[in-house]
Amino acid sequence: MNIEVHDTAFVIAYYRAQHEILSQDPYAKLWSKDSLKIFADEFATQVSVYDEMLHCMRNRYFHDELQELATTHKDLLFINLGAGFSMYPYSLPDSVISVEVDFKEIMLYKDITTDTFLKEGKLPKRKVKRIAADITNAEGQQKIKETISEFENYTKVILIEGVFFFLNKRAIETVLNFCADIQSKDDLVLCISFDESQNETKVFKRLKQYFSETLQSHENPYTCLPHKFYENIEGYSLKKKYSTLALGKQLGCIETSVKEEEILNEHCYTLFKIR
């Protein structure tokens, strides 16, 4: 089966592969190809030189959160909504069951290619289920419900990474309501977004221009959310928030003198279901 996926879908994996130790993703390099450097260099020139490292930081934050959960929960179900070409399941213990959800062409290509990687011994065997679905509509959500129904007694951790930027607020609320519907008390949601303060920065305006002019993406809502949005999600408590900039400075890979308004700083959130 010949499935074409545009190079831009692999750019984040390219970023992670350039800084494997910092991103804690030893498998991102499997998606690497020479053409991706062109996109990465173009983005660095037109938008921000820090974006490569900041994407590594968001992977590092979620990697560390997932590893901690895997060590403290015997039966863990990891659900990645908008999984793209992230590779978290293969760094987690083999006891973890993973469910990845994305659009059809992404999931088909990933399924076929990871199967090849497994046969070639490039990936460890893990329990991964993939679903081709739109996470914002009822049909897609029903497919996810049916897939995870056999894991009712598992602790469920849902990751929503790099998705909210592309959804309007109503769609975001629909997705979070779905999370609440399939989760139980003490389950967790991990997500990330730009704070609304980023909206007026020069670098964010360059980002919007890049999407509009270079990528010809004219209908992107470029959604930013205030921190208080996460403090007021019904049924959840905000357990932790941390920015990619703060983590980069903590790990010594971003200079302490760099200011938030100079970069595309995303905030990672850990939400704890309270009822």
- Amino acid 34: pLDDT: 87
- Amino acid 122: pLDDT: 98
pLDDT tens across 81-130, in order? 999 999 999 999 999 999 999 999 999 999 999 999 999 999 999 999 99
pLDDT(204) > 90: yes
- Amino acid 208: pLDDT: 94
Rounded CA separation 24/43 (Å): 23
**Phi and psi torsions of 192, nearest 5°:** -150, 145
Q: Collapsing DSSP states into helix, strand and coil, what is residue 71? A: helix
pLDDT(16) > 80: yes
- Cβ-Cβ contacts under 8 Å for 160 (sequence gap 6 or more): 81, 82, 175, 179, 189, 190, 191, 192
To the nearest whole number, what is the mean pLDDT of the chain?
A: 95
- Amino acid 115: pLDDT: 97
- Amino acid 2: pLDDT: 55
pLDDT(1) > 60: no
Pairing of the two strands 236-243 and 188-194 = unpaired
pLDDT tens across 152-195, in order? 999 999 999 999 999 999 999 999 999 999 999 999 999 999 99
- Amino acid 3: pLDDT: 59
pLDDT(4) > 70: no
pLDDT tens across 216-253, in order? 888 889 999 999 999 999 999 999 999 999 999 999 99
- Amino acid 8: pLDDT: 81
Secondary structure of 227-244 in HEC code, one letter for each residue: HHHHHCCCCEEEEEEEEH
pLDDT tens across 29-65, in order? 999 888 899 999 999 999 999 999 999 999 999 999 9
> Comparing 138-142, 201-205, 208-212, 268-272, which segment has the lowest mean pLDDT?
208-212
Q: Is 26 exposed, middle or buried (0-12, 13-18, 19+ CB in 10 A)?
A: middle
- Amino acid 53: pLDDT: 98
Residue 123 pairs in a beta bridge with none
Question: Domains in the chain, ordered, with CATH?
Answer: 7-273 (3.40.50.150)
pTM value is 0.96
pLDDT tens across 246-263, in order? 999 999 999 999 999 999
